[in-house]
Structure 1
Amino acid sequence: MSSQSSSATAASAALHQSSSQRALIGHGGTSTPSGAGTPNSQIQQSDLDVKQHLMNYQRYFDSASYPYINDVSSYEKLSKIGQGTFGEVFKARCKSTGKMVALKKILMENEKEGFPITALREVKMLEQLKHDNITDLIEVCSSKTAGPGAKDRTTFYLVFAFCEHDLAGLLSNNKVRMSLVHIKTLMKHLVAGLNKLHRSKILHRDMKAANVLISREGVLKLADFGLARPFVQRESGPRPLYTNRVVTLWYRPPELLLGDRQYGTKIDVWGAGCIMAEMWTRQPIMQGDTEQKQLQLISGLCGSISTRVWPNCEKMPLWVAMSSEANSALPQGKKRILRDKMRILMKCDGPDGKPMSDPFGRSRPNDNVPTDEDAMNLLDSLLAIDPDKRPSADEAEDDLWFFKAPMPKENVQDLMDTVPTSQFEYTVGKGAHANRGRHQNQQPRPHQPQRATNAIPAGQYRDTIF
């Protein structure tokens, strides 16, 4: 009798609890008559009530308005100018002022936890980063997505001041003639913007030519802070850990390729060095397909990675794995040939406007290009294998090269006047790096059909970022 009494008491308590839950949740589901059903059915009904309650909340949020931000209908989309992992970018015109802007659509389709953390970071950081050489965030807009499968979700856009070109697009166009003064001015702008970032305790983590914009007035601006994040600088104790899967492959420094998670601002400095070299060569200087291949290219250009040039390299998490492979990603005995290689590949216009380059890329020193030792010294330091030997952005901004003739100008307005149409990597090449570098001339072998592949395009990187 005692066991039957306790079972009845438990069933009564379960029924009472389920009724209380339904009372708290609301009246979205159908109620079960008192004394009917089993405890399992009551629990199932309670779960249904919870789901109905959540659906009611979803309908509430879907019908909500955002009175403190404008609707994207205030802007007229003109063309698509960019596509990235975290969203699309459109050229648009403000209907009230006629001013051109860039609309960056924040992808929400795969978000399960609300607003993307990367977009929140981007908005928060750009609010405090007011600088001539950093892109300007104007506002955040919203748009109600309608149609089948859209689930009436709200889409958000970041509205930026419009810049006519990105550096990758300009370098892809052989008709854009850049002189040494132009290169020096753009590099001065780049390191100034990077210095502002680092002084604000922010890592960009995706320095590449496609993320460097140039306005109609000839001012360079760092853009695309989708991977950026604040960093902590401690005087003592262990450094914080960050995600390792950042920076587009062609611009990724050796410490990230070897698995470092305690990196700092020097990963952005390496990217600045790659961009500096690219301004002369007109194409990315190291175009690896995999992390292993990228390490091999770095060793071939900047010298072998060893404890002699980088004392802490053996402490990197992937050092053993990379060095023990049959075809090692860390070949030894390679000399540093960065200066000699750059002299061969340099392309720029002289003071008289005539090209100073070797159009055939012959593997010999280019006698038509005068040696700029100060420029090579800066590039050599930016692309140092050991992160500790690279200069800070502050030190790079004060480099001797920027204080020798020809002096950098305030802007490259004269260069922009020669480019009548917008030059973006996406619109020029119809896809990232499509018409750039060694990949553009690859053709399928005769009598062999080109194999389909799911591989990520060269230079691209997809990953979940934290």
Structure 2
Amino acid sequence: MSSQPYTAGLHQSSTQSHRQAAPKRPLPQTGVNELAKRALIGGTPNTPNGGATPNQANFEIDVKQQLLNYQKLFDQSLYPYINDVSAYEKLSKIGQGTFGEVFKARCKTTGRMVALKKILMENEKEGFPITALREVKMLEQLKHQNITDLIEVCSAKSNSATTKDRTTFYLVFAFCEHDLAGLLSNPKVRMSLVHIKTMMKHLITGLNKLHRSRILHRDMKAANVLISREGVLKLADFGLARPFVHRDTSGAPRPLYTNRVVTLWYRPPELLLGDRQYSTKIDVWGAGCIMAEMWTRQPIMQGDTEQKQLQLISALCGSINTQVWPNCEKMPLWNAMSQEPNSALPQGKARVLKHKMRALMKFDNVPESKQATDEDAMNLLEVLLAIDPDKRPSADEAEDDNWFFKEPTPRPNVGDLMDTIPTSQFEYTVGKGAHAGRGRHHNQQRPGHPAPRQQVSNAIPAGQYRDTIF
């Protein structure tokens, strides 16, 4: 017989248990998890079928009470190595993404402005979100002037006993006054050629740092490009980023990644065709879209489905076929896309990217005689937006492109441009860009104007190839 005090009471014979109930005894520290598990499913060590005698009911109550006590301890526990978010005063909401909300805040101790990114926990069933873990881990090792700076991680306790997630976590970043999408949406912001060239240099330099660190960003877009008060551009929002494996041998199998990444308007053709063995070239395509957006002042391809996005790419960059991309027929969704009645892969389309951009490349503060098309800029844009991923340059190669060595050469920052902008400009606050339908700007209607008719796209049957990360 075991020497533990409760075992004798629990394992006495059925005859003895009917004569006299075992005295109520304290539960030991060992074995509580197993006992709690049995109690929660309605059974006890004596009753495999779940039936309970008065003695067993008392035992069940004891275990549940202990669990409630443990829950109270957990609720009252503190995180000794991170600060509470009450150390910061929230001022305004400046962003909302797939994986969290972003607030402008002030440190109550130092007065420093910061950005608080709330980590959404509502849909998590198994602990802390892996995307947030990746973001923290990667930003700890990515210390670079062109990458957003993570200051710390904070926690916040909820006072509501019914709240599903009693603890909320925040990532605290150094505050930047603008994001590029908000800046470009403001027609009063006048950019010269040197401003565009400087910001593109910063963007590609930051991207090169990422790729040399074996990290894919996987959500390159203008809204994820921040600009500080000093005029330094920084890559931000690493919620979809992940480390990648680089194979030195060509015969080794390439790792598989999810293709449900990158906001639709900036998504390259290989992801739209279902590729799961992609490389850093998906970020390079996003950099090309952002570069074109510097002149167009809006995203250059605004599809609402994968099929529509492929059609827009074909209309601007030429038809997708084996002549321009030898491996395109190996893509998982090639057959399905090409056989659509309203094909997502129209043939016979010429590449008109240069022709379209020539009319748009007008620079402020540049004499009329020098406003001819900047061929070096056009050549860089052409290769960044190559249909074939293998024909796109690496970020390292793009950083050394001829365009950056021609006059006017890039400056250390665009501080002079920032001095002309009195208020912060963010995609969320101005209500434009790839996420304009979110949050405060969703379904807003101008007074006196009827709601626009809903346009039903017949490009794809409902439920097929729909974008899930937008």
Give the fraction of aligned pairs with identical amino acids, expressed as a percent.
76
User: How many Å apart are 1:64 and its aligned residue?
Assistant: 1.4
User: How many Å apart are 1:224 and its aligned residue?
Assistant: 0.1
Q: Which amino acid aligns with 1:98?
A: G
User: How many Å apart are 1:450 and its aligned residue?
Assistant: 3.5
Residue of structure 2 equivalent to 1:294: 309
Q: Aligned pair in 2 of structure 1 residues 418, 57: CA closer, same or farther (>3 Å)?
A: same
Query: Would you say the 8 A contact 1:25–1:49 is kept in 2?
Result: no
Q: Aligned pair in 2 of structure 1 residues 303, 147: CA closer, same or farther (>3 Å)?
A: same
Looking at structure 2, the residues matched to 34 and 202 of structure 1 have their Cα atoms a distance apart, in angstroms, of 52
Query: Would you say the 8 A contact 1:26–1:53 is kept in 2?
Result: no
Residue of structure 2 equivalent to 1:204: 217
Does residue 1:167 correspond to 2:214, yes or no?
no
User: How many Å apart are 1:462 and its aligned residue?
Assistant: 3.7
Superimposed CA distance per residue, residues 96-133 of structure 1 (whole angstroms, 9 cap, x where no aligned partner): 11110000000112211111100000000000000000
User: How many Å apart are 1:434 and its aligned residue?
Assistant: 3.1
Query: Would you say the 8 A contact 2:43–2:50 is kept in 1?
Result: no
Please state whether the residue corresponding to 1:384 is helix, strand or coil.
coil
Looking at structure 2, the residues matched to 130 and 334 of structure 1 have their Cα atoms a distance apart, in angstroms, of 44
User: How many Å apart are 1:348 and its aligned residue?
Assistant: 3.2
Q: What's the Cα RMSD here?
A: 3.6
Looking at structure 2, the residues matched to 102 and 187 of structure 1 have their Cα atoms a distance apart, in angstroms, of 24
Looking at structure 1, the residues matched to 331 and 62 of structure 2 have their Cα atoms a distance apart, in angstroms, of 52
Does residue 1:78 correspond to 2:91, yes or no?
yes
Q: Which runs of 4+ in 1 moved over 4 A?
A: 19-24, 26-35, 42-58, 430-433, 446-449
Match of 2:407 among 405, 408, 428: 405
Residue of structure 2 equivalent to 1:185: 198
Looking at structure 2, the residues matched to 314 and 48 of structure 1 have their Cα atoms a distance apart, in angstroms, of 65
Looking at structure 2, the residues matched to 87 and 57 of structure 1 have their Cα atoms a distance apart, in angstroms, of 30
Q: Which amino acid aligns with 2:89?
A: E
TM-score normalized with structure 1 length = 0.83
Superimposed CA distance per residue, residues 334-379 of structure 1 (whole angstroms, 9 cap, x where no aligned partner): 1100000011233431336xxx8xxxxxxxxxx9941100000000
Please state whether the residue corresponding to 2:363 is helix, strand or coil.
strand
Does residue 1:87 correspond to 2:100, yes or no?
yes
Does residue 1:39 correspond to 2:49, yes or no?
yes
Looking at structure 2, the residues matched to 402 and 303 of structure 1 have their Cα atoms a distance apart, in angstroms, of 27
Looking at structure 1, the residues matched to 43 and 186 of structure 2 have their Cα atoms a distance apart, in angstroms, of 72
Does residue 1:105 correspond to 2:107, yes or no?
no
Residue of structure 2 equivalent to 1:274: 289
Q: Aligned pair in 2 of structure 1 residues 32, 278: CA closer, same or farther (>3 Å)?
A: closer
Residue of structure 1 equivalent to 2:300: 285
User: How many Å apart are 1:57 and its aligned residue?
Assistant: 4.8
Counting only pairs closer than 5 Å after superposition, residues 272-351 of structure 1 correspond to structure 2 as: 272-351=287-366
Please state whether the residue corresponding to 1:78 is helix, strand or coil.
strand
Residue of structure 1 equivalent to 2:381: 379
Q: Which amino acid aligns with 2:356?
A: K
Does residue 1:263 correspond to 2:284, yes or no?
no
Counting only pairs closer than 5 Å after superposition, residues 103-252 of structure 1 correspond to structure 2 as: 103-147=116-160, 149-151=162-164, 153-236=166-249, 237-252=252-267
User: How many Å apart are 1:172 and its aligned residue?
Assistant: 0.2
User: How many Å apart are 1:235 and its aligned residue?
Assistant: 1.9
Q: Aligned pair in 2 of structure 1 residues 312, 64: CA closer, same or farther (>3 Å)?
A: same
Please state whether the residue corresponding to 1:156 is helix, strand or coil.
strand
TM-score normalized with structure 2 length = 0.82
Looking at structure 1, the residues matched to 321 and 60 of structure 2 have their Cα atoms a distance apart, in angstroms, of 60
Query: Would you say the 8 A contact 1:85–1:462 is kept in 2?
Result: no
Please state whether the residue corresponding to 1:349 is helix, strand or coil.
coil
Residue of structure 2 equivalent to 1:363: none
Q: Aligned pair in 2 of structure 1 residues 280, 430: CA closer, same or farther (>3 Å)?
A: closer
Looking at structure 1, the residues matched to 165 and 322 of structure 2 have their Cα atoms a distance apart, in angstroms, of 57
Query: Would you say the 8 A contact 1:343–1:369 is kept in 2?
Result: no
User: How many Å apart are 1:41 and its aligned residue?
Assistant: 2.7
Q: Which amino acid aligns with 1:117?
A: I
Looking at structure 2, the residues matched to 33 and 397 of structure 1 have their Cα atoms a distance apart, in angstroms, of 68
User: How many Å apart are 1:387 and its aligned residue?
Assistant: 0.2
User: How many Å apart are 1:316 and its aligned residue?
Assistant: 0.2
Superimposed CA distance per residue, residues 203-258 of structure 1 (whole angstroms, 9 cap, x where no aligned partner): 00000000000000000000000000000011231100000100000000000000
Counting only pairs closer than 5 Å after superposition, residues 21-60 of structure 1 correspond to structure 2 as: 25=34, 39-41=49-51, 57-60=70-73
